[in-house]
Amino acid sequence: MLVFIGFNNVPAVKKPGRLPIAHSNRQTQHHSLNRMSERSYRLIQGIYILLALYFELNVLIAAYMVVIVFEGLTNWRIPLLVSRLRYGNLAVAHNAGVLNATAMHANLPESQPCRFDFEAERLLRLVVFVLLIFTVLIFPELGWFFPWFIGAMLFMAGVTNICPMVMLFRYLGFR
Phi, psi of 122 (to 5 degrees): -65, -40
- CA-to-CA distance for 56 and 137, rounded, in angstroms? 13
Q: What region, left, alpha or beta, does residue 9 occupy, with left being phi > 0 and alpha being psi -120 to 50 degrees?
A: left
Residue 143 near residue 135, CB atoms below 8 Å = yes
pLDDT in the model for residue 37: 84
- pLDDT tens for the chain, 175 residues: list them: 444 444 444 454 544 554 444 444 444 444 444 457 889 999 999 999 999 999 999 999 999 999 999 999 998 988 888 888 888 776 555 555 544 444 444 444 455 678 888 999 999 999 999 999 999 888 988 888 999 999 999 999 999 999 999 999 999 999 8
pLDDT in the model for residue 7: 45
pLDDT in the model for residue 92: 53
- CA-to-CA distance for 95 and 35, rounded, in angstroms? 10
Question: Could you tell me the pTM of the whole model?
Answer: 0.68
- CA-to-CA distance for 66 and 161, rounded, in angstroms? 24
| Cα of 7 vs its chain's centroid, Å | 27
pLDDT in the model for residue 96: 52
